[in-house]
Every structure is written in C-alpha cells, then in structure tokens.
Amino acid sequence: MAVFTTGAELAPLTFVVTRADLIRYAGASLDFNPIHWSDRVAVKNGLPGVIAHGMYTMALAARALTTWAGDPAAVTDFSVRFTRPVIVPDDDSGVEVVISGVVKEVAEDGTAQVMVTAVSAGEKVLGQARATVRPGRLLDPAE
C-alpha cells in the first residue's frame, strides 16, 4: 500500500507541552532528572528554566510518524540529535512543539525514509532526525 510518496511534505502536527506534562512523563519514563521539573536546578545548570526531556520531544515526533503512517507499529528505525532545549514555562498555556516531515525515499515494499523537523519557539530542537517507516509491515503476508 502506498502511504508515502517521495518528496511529499507531511502535514505538520502541533503539540502543546506544559509543566504538568513533564511531571507525568517523568513518572512514566522513570527519568527524574530535576532539570525537567525544578527551575532552581535548571538555572544552576545554565538553562533559562525547566526544559522538556529530550526523549519527550522524540516521543512527540514518534507520534507524528505513526500518525502519518496510519500504523502504530510502522517505525522501524528512528534517530535524533537533541540540539536545543524545549523551554517549558511555569504557566497554564505551555509551549508549542511543531513536528513536520518530508519523505526522502520510498522503497518498492513501501518502506519510507522520512526526515523530521521539530520546532519550538522558532528554533529547531532536533537535529538530523530521520526515521524508517514501513506501514502495515506486520500484515504483509511476505513477512
């Protein structure tokens, strides 16, 4: 099935990240680094304030990938560099992270190479983010 076509720009998805999201993610992911919940510790580490877990941003990008693929199991390879922090204010509205993607290549079996861009507060927060995505791979009788 042809979910992806080479060169296609994938519809950007916007996620809102609040302090409450980071607290919940810390508990669920078992990453309790205080720079993700304490302004005091974040500032001591040279940051402007609490930042999102890099892995939380990666998880949002993964949501975009599975949404574009229409298959929660489609991602077979995913790599990112954490180039800039997502700064999350202590307010009720949080900060936006916008995930967009471009299909670089599609193989005959439908496997696509996707370049991902993540932007927050006007800055790219992930570098060299690329994924291999194969929609419907487990339903393929050839496997």
Partner 1 sequence: MPLNLSYEGHSFPPGEPYLVGREKIREFARAVGADDAAYHDPEAAAALGHPDVIAPPTFPTVLTIPLAARLFAEHPDVGIDFSRIVHGDQRFAYERPVRAGDALVCRPVLEKLSSRAGLDSVSVRTEIVTVEGELVVTSWAKIVARTEA
Residues that bind partner 1 (CB under 8 A): 15, 21, 24-25, 27-31, 45, 53-56, 58-60, 62-63, 65-66, 71-73, 75-82, 128, 138-139
| Residue 81 · residue 128 · CB < 8 Å | yes
Tell the smallest beta-carbon distance from residue 22 to partner 1 (Å): 10
Q: Which is nearer to partner 1, 7 or 136 (CB)?
A: 136
Q: Which is nearer to partner 1, 7 or 107 (CB)?
A: 107
Tell the smallest beta-carbon distance from residue 81 to partner 1 (Å): 4
Tell the smallest beta-carbon distance from residue 29 to partner 1 (Å): 6
Residues 103 and 98: their CA atoms lie apart, in Å, by 17
Q: How far lies 32's CA from each of 7, 22, 36, 60, 110, in Å?
A: 39, 10, 7, 19, 39
Q: How far lies 89's CA from each of 50, 63, 131, in Å?
A: 7, 23, 30
Residue closest to 15 by CA, chosen among 55, 56, 44, 50: 56
Q: Which is nearer to partner 1, 8 or 55 (CB)?
A: 55
What number of other Cβ atoms are within 10 A of residue 105's Cβ? Answer: 13
